[in-house]
Structure 1
Amino acid sequence: MTALGLIAGTLAAQAETKLTIATVNNGDMIIMQKLSSAFEKANPDIKLDWVVLEENVLRQRVTTDIATKGGSFDVMTIGAYEAPIWGKQGWLVPLDDFGADYDYADLVPQVKDGLSVGGKMYAAPFYAESSLTFYRKDLFEKAGIKMAEKPTYAQIAEYANKLSDKKDGIYGICLRGKPGWGENMAWLGTAAVAFGGSWFDEQWKPQFTTEPWKETIKWYLDVMKKDGPPGAAANGYNENRALFATGKCGMWIDATVTAGYLYNPKESQVADKVAFAPAPITDANPKASGWFWSWALGVPASSKNAEAAKKFVQWATSKDYVKLVGESEGWIAAPPGTRMSTYSNPEYKKVAPFADFVLNAIETTNPAKPTVKPVPYTGVQFAAIPEFQGIGTTAGQDVAAALAGSSTGDQALAKAQASAERTMKQAGYPK
């Protein structure tokens, strides 16, 4: 190579921007990574470096990095819990200047609002979800039972018992057991709301030892020990998804985003056998159903490449990206819950029988008024305060220990209560 060529190559390397993207190892994000070559082709001066992590690890890494202004990541996959808290702290770059082509009005209003503070959007929604009950219609038929239109937790327990066939390796129900505020506690927090409970009362006193939480944990431990899979305390979202998709679960209560995976014959061995119903309710709270969550892409204020990072976030959360997924991976794989145009697209609706149900579940969940009794926080499966992450993680470990058999449900809740009370006292609540 000539000296001129060497100089040109050096200048090109210097001009190249490398973006480090932290994301979760969920199916939709794996597709994003796969298709990102299209972004690099359109932006040859930007190279993408991916850090793909298990959910609990991702949350720990990005929280530490952003709180310490570490600058390790240019784009972070965060959720409806972090975005408003971190945005208010000034830790995230506002994302309100993507231009007319981005079509902010096309974003599902509840999802956009959940990622905003003071009218500014601090993370762009990649997909959004509520929760529902997936079940095997063939196993229901074989057992001679019919799923209720709005199942109760008592009915779900009855169904699970009738569906269990452990000789054939089929478990009546699969639920999250892996500890973490966004793993087992995401599901349990939603269930506690359905049983009439809450995370805190109006004076910010933790509620783990109240009757609704005791009923929730008793129901959970009873049904999981009787009709759940072995080793369930190690099973999070991904593990349960794999169990259901390979025909091991009669029912699974979890995220609506999973519908696109379970109905996809390329991914799921039970694609022609799966059906769905709302998340369960109880007499104590007949209106409660699913949670509310969105995975989103944010740009930390500590990034030295904020403009290039924003360009990637704009691309990955655009209508054109949804179309790219639909055309390359099949419309069943399109990221759900974020754009109204997805739900008016006949190609998506043709392959997604759950489309209207999911959109309605997202639109009718109200994180601003999540519980039967008034509470001072927003959120269903989380409370939108900085202290919740630690409280939820510790409680998740206590409950997982009870599921594994090393303590009782009441002991787990008593430990969670004592730890939460200490945390809230140290943080100076009520404020």
Structure 2
Amino acid sequence: MQKNVIALTVAAMAASVSLAASAETLTIATVNNGDMVRMQKLSGEFTKANPDIDLEWVTLEENALRQKVTTDIATKGGQFDIMTIGTYEVPIWAKQGWLLELDGLPDDYDTDDILPGIRGGLSMDDKLFAAPFYGESSMVMYRKDLMEKAGMEMPEDPTWEFIGKAARAMTDKDAGTYGVCLRGKAGWGENMAFLTATANSFGARWFDMDWKAQFDTQQWADTLNFYVDLMNDAGPPGASSNGFNENLTLFQNGQCGMWIDATVAASFVTNPDDSKVADQVGFALAPDNGLGKRGNWLWAWSLAIPAGTEKAESAKKFVAWATSKQYLELVASNEGWANVPPGTRKSLYENPEYQKVPFAAMTLKSIEAADPTNPTVDEVPYVGVQFVAIPEFQGIATSVGQQFAAALAGQVSVEDALKSAQALTTRAMSKAGYPK
């Protein structure tokens, strides 16, 4: 009897060693934000259900992640089996043949449940090339107490004129309270994300139908003058150094009357553990100018599979798990509905439990108000709301962002910043061979 037990134990150990030896390791590149960190923490549920798959994580700050995965996929480096990429990269990389189509997903994955605007931004020729982990637009987050003290009431759909008046009315610089906090830090995903979306609502655009730069137009002058004047009157000091994280901290500390930024921030500013003003936060749509376009963007952090991986089937299993309805329920059971990755699925916004989350409805309205295929008042040859979906955009927009940050800091005039933006964009597009 004892010999049989020993034999069975040895056999079980051998089987375990054999399984471990044969397990396939997926290397996943991801960004170091709260939702992705949570995904890593919960991924033990995936490996428990899939003991033949191991996970290796490469977690990076956003700018470093973009640089690393772009270099790897462009050079066919093959370091990663799954990449966290955004709405900007997906159509460009899919067109290059760098991404695998996400076909053959499980029947219960329900691709049709993905919000149309988010799904469209991650597709080419109606084929899905990345699965959204969370989606976002931008909206107004504001202090209800300061708005009331200023004798004003925030409408659900404010205009930029209202935002300007309210910001100036709520500002008390002696008390360290500023009416509005907006992105000023230079970068295509920082100040230019905000300013490109804002410019859409002012009737501006990056290029006309012949790919000619449009920074020499009155619409861009109106956009940048409004922004610089507003931030000088009602913004915090050093605003040209503030991006998403800096403004989040200012708002949570009670120093901003309004913050216009990513809808995904709503759970951070309403969390009493982190935010001093959690019980005073209200939400509204991003502002407009009555021209039919709001100043909000559309973005999704998504999981994609590079075409060079040799582990496509295992990678698809993980992508399907991490972006599924079941994953949302897993997060809700562990962290509460307010911390579920937002902005991806229709069924989430139909869920009565999620409808109780104070920012759920406004997040959905904001996402639905953005149209990446028709982002501007006048016709354009590009796709994208806060970006232009061409490979050259990252470099050009980063340079333009530096000019606009300098204007905000008072180092150059708005007029000179726009002249520089026009010249450098024209030069870069000409060198790249546009129009194509």
Shorter-chain TM-score above 0.5: yes
Q: Quickly say closer, same or farther: Cα 1:43–1:419, change in 2 above 3 A.
A: same
Query: Which residue, out of 225, 237, 255, partners 1:248?
Result: 255
1:161 and 1:44 mapped to 2: Cα distance? 58
Cα distance in 2 for residues equivalent to 1:75 and 1:90: 15
- Picking from 356, 370, 376, the partner of 1:371 is 376
Distance 2:14 2:51 in 1: 19
Is 194-203 or 360-369 further displaced after alignment?
A: 360-369
Q: TM-score, normalised by structure 1?
A: 0.93
Q: Would you say the 8 A contact 2:192–2:386 is kept in 1? A: yes
Is contact 1:171-1:250 (8 Å) kept?
yes
Q: 1:98 is aligned with what amino acid? A: L
* From 351, 354, 360, the counterpart of 1:348: 354
1:4: Cα distance to partner?
A: 9.9
Q: Deviations over 1:30-84 (max 9, x none)?
A: 2222222222332333333323333222222221221111122222111211111
Structure 1 range deviating more: 81-90 or 300-309: 300-309
* Separation in structure 2 between the aligned mates of residue 57 and residue 298 of structure 1, nearest angstrom: 17
**Shift in CA distance, 209/56, structure 1 to aligned 2, threshold 3 Å:** farther
- Residues of 2 paired with 1:342 and 1:6: CA distance? 43
Of the structure 1 ranges 377-386 and 184-193, higher mean CA displacement relative to structure 2 is found in: 377-386
Give me the whole-angstrom Cα distance separating, in 1, the residues matched to 2:416 and 2:12.
70
Match of 1:420 in 2: 425
Which runs of structure 2 are paired with 1:161-172 in the superposition (5 Å)? 161-172=168-179
The within-5 A match list for 1:69-218 is 69-218=76-225
Deviates more, 1:44-53 or 1:119-128: 44-53
| Cα deviations by residue, 1:290-321 (Å, 9 ceiling, x for unpaired) | 21221111111123333222221111100010
One-letter amino acid matched to 2:412: S
Q: Give the Å deviation of 1:141.
A: 1.3
2-side partners of 1:47 and 1:344: how far apart?
Answer: 34
Shift of residue 333 of structure 1?
Answer: 0.9
Hey, which bits of structure 1, 4+ residues long, moved more than 3 A? 3-14
Post-superposition Cα deviations, 1:157-198, rounded to whole Å, max 9, x if no partner, equal 221122122333222111112222111111000111111100
1:319 is matched with 325
Q: How far off its partner does 1:13 sit?
A: 5.0
Q: Which residue of 1 aligns with 2:401?
A: 396
**Matching residue's letter, 1:355:** A
TM-score (ref. length: structure 2): 0.92
Is the counterpart of residue 297 in structure 1 residue 303 in structure 2?
Answer: yes
The correspondence for 1:429, drawn from 419, 426, 434, is 434
State whether structure 2 residue 66 is matched by structure 1 residue 42: no
Distance 2:361 2:372 in 1: 20
C-alpha separation in 2, matches of 1:68 and 1:115: 22
Q: Give the counterpart letter for 1:90 in structure 2.
A: G
Percent identity between matched residues is 58
Amino acid at match of 2:223: T
Separation in structure 1 between the aligned mates of residue 360 and residue 270 of structure 2, nearest angstrom:
12
- The answer as to 2:52 corresponding to 1:15 is no
Aligned to 1:63: 70
In our comparison, the structure showing a higher alpha carbon Rg is 2
2:366 aligns with one of 361, 366, 388:
361
Distance change in 2, residues 1:243/1:302 (3 Å): farther
The 3-state SS of whatever aligns with 1:393 is helix
Shift of 1:405: 3.1
Secondary structure at the residue paired with 2:178?
coil
- Contact kept, 8 Å, 2:283 with 2:362, in 1: the verdict is no
- How much does 1:278 deviate? 1.2
Aligned partner of 1:408 in structure 2 is 413
1:309 and 2:315 correspond: yes
- How much has 1:286 moved relative to structure 2? 4.2
**SS at structure 1 position matched to 2:181:** coil
Q: CA deviation at 1:419?
A: 1.6
What whole-Å deviation, never above 9, does each CA across 1:177-229 have from its counterpart, x for those lacking one? Answer: 22221111110001111111001011101112221111111121222233222
Mapped partners of 1:185, 1:56: distance in 2: 14
Partners of 1:195 and 1:151 in 2: CA distance: 14
Cα separation, 1, equivalents of 2:414 and 2:44: 48
2:381 maps to a residue whose letter is P
After TM superposition, the structure 1 stretch with the greater mean CA deviation from structure 2, 36-45 or 177-186, is 36-45
Q: Give the partner amino acid of 2:382.
A: Y
